[in-house]
Amino acid sequence: MTTNGRVALRTQALTKVFRGFRAVDSVDLVVREGGVHALVGPNGAGKTTLFNLLTGFVSPTSGAITVFDEDVTGQQPEQVARRGVARSFQITSLFETLTSREHVELALQGLTRQGFRFWRSEKLLGGNRARVDELLTQVGLMALADRQVGLLAYGQKRALELALVLALDPRVMLLDEPTAGMGIEDVDRTIELVRRIAAGRTVVFVDHNMHVVGSLADRVTVLQQGRILAEGPYEEVRNDERVITAYLGEADHA
Ligand SMILES: Nc1ncnc2c1ncn2[C@@H]1O[C@H](COP(=O)(O)OP(=O)(O)OP(=O)(O)O)[C@@H](O)[C@H]1O
């Protein structure tokens, strides 16, 4: 995990109002290149909305967003993705009857715009095969590559989703609750996995599990009611009285 001086993501006074409700309120966020940055906060704090803003799925009411100093404010998700930003979702969205290998092949085809009609073209699949194998190996699914996704365990499905994000070879990877719903073993496996795939990239993730946040993040931003309540290294933030009162108290100091 290396950080240098460059800023990968920056928001300035970023605000999203839903029918009068300020879900994200004047957020100034700086994510440094190469960093692993956690967004935490109680339910409804605005974490997912901030993710949606950063990736173009929701357009801001006001404020600005830059990716490596390029203004992406108001751009569509595919335009933001073209700047090297890729995300995972909180809810799994896989096809139960396709295999892991087929999922990764589809993700790679989407990337190169080869299109669905070339699906199953031997030449294409041959060309992608090494990359597919590499991605499946990276997330520990090579041995299960040809098993239908419906037959995979929950943790394995989440690992496959990470492979689909990695297929885009993003410079900036946004992971929405990568360990949600997992048992402790899967959580620890996912921590290791995210650490591995974070090498050479910038990662922003949301997670409610403070063990995950403390293990992975070099910086933590705490949101509360749409605003930044505190920000800094994990050890600093977890000892911040305002944070303990607002949120971490429940999880860490109970
Ligand atoms: N499309 C929408 N329309 C209206 N209100 C919304 C919309 N999306 C989010 N909100 C509201 O904005 C607030 C922030 O929601 P958001 O999902 O960003 O919080 P969160 O921190 O991700 O919460 P959680 O930890 O539960 O996922 C919530 O009060 C939510 O009800």
Residue bearing the CA closest to ligand 1, atom 24: 43
> Is residue 221 pLDDT above 70, yes or no?
yes
Report the percent of the chain where pLDDT is more than 70.
87
- Domain range list for the chain: 1-84+171-194+201-254, 93-169
**pTM over cut 0.95:** no
The mean per-residue pLDDT over the stretch 133-157 comes to 94
**157 within 8 A of 94, measured Cβ to Cβ:** yes
> Is residue 90 pLDDT above 80, yes or no?
no
**Number of residues that make up the chain:** 254
Residue bearing the CA closest to ligand 1, atom 3: 18
The one-letter code for the residue type at 171 is R
48 lines ligand 1 (CB under 6 A): yes
pLDDT, tens digit, for every residue of 159-180?
999 999 999 899 999 999 999 9
Q: How confident is the model at residue 253 (pLDDT cuts 50, 70, 90)?
A: very low
> Is residue 252 pLDDT above 50, yes or no?
no
> Is residue 119 pLDDT above 80, yes or no?
no
Least confident of 68-72, 114-118, 206-210: 114-118
What span, in angstroms and rounded, lies between the C-alpha atoms of 235 and 45?
21
Q: Which residues pair with 254 in a beta bridge?
A: none
41 lines ligand 1 (CB under 6 A): yes
Instruction: Give ipTM to 2 decimals.
Output: 0.95
45 lines ligand 1 (CB under 6 A): yes
> Is residue 114 pLDDT above 60, yes or no?
no
Domain 1-84+171-194+201-254's class?
alpha beta
Q: Which atom of ligand 1 is nearest to the CA of 45?
A: 21
Least confident of 80-94, 115-129, 193-207: 115-129
**SS3 per residue for the chain:** CCCCCCEEEEEEEEEEEECCEEEEEEEEEEEECCCEEEEECCCCCCHHHHHHHHCCCCCCCEEEEEECCEECCCCCHHHHHHCCEEECCCCCCCCCCCEHHHHHHHHHHHHHCCCHHHCCCHHHHHHHHHHHHHHHHHCCCHHHCCCEHHHCCHHHHHHHHHHHHHCCCCCEEEEECCCCCCCHHHHHHHHHHHHHHHCCCEEEEECCCHHHHHHHCCEEEEEECCEEEEEECHHHHHCCHHHHHHHHHHHHCC
Residue with tokens 């997992």, as numbered in its chain: 182
> Is residue 152 pLDDT above 50, yes or no?
yes
91 lines ligand 1 (CB under 6 A): no
224 lines ligand 1 (CB under 6 A): no
> Is residue 118 pLDDT above 50, yes or no?
no
Residue with tokens 């943790």, as numbered in its chain: 155
- What is the distance in A from the centroid of ligand 1 to the CA of 48? 7
Q: Is 173 exposed, middle or buried (0-12, 13-18, 19+ CB in 10 A)?
A: buried
Residue with tokens 């989440």, as numbered in its chain: 158
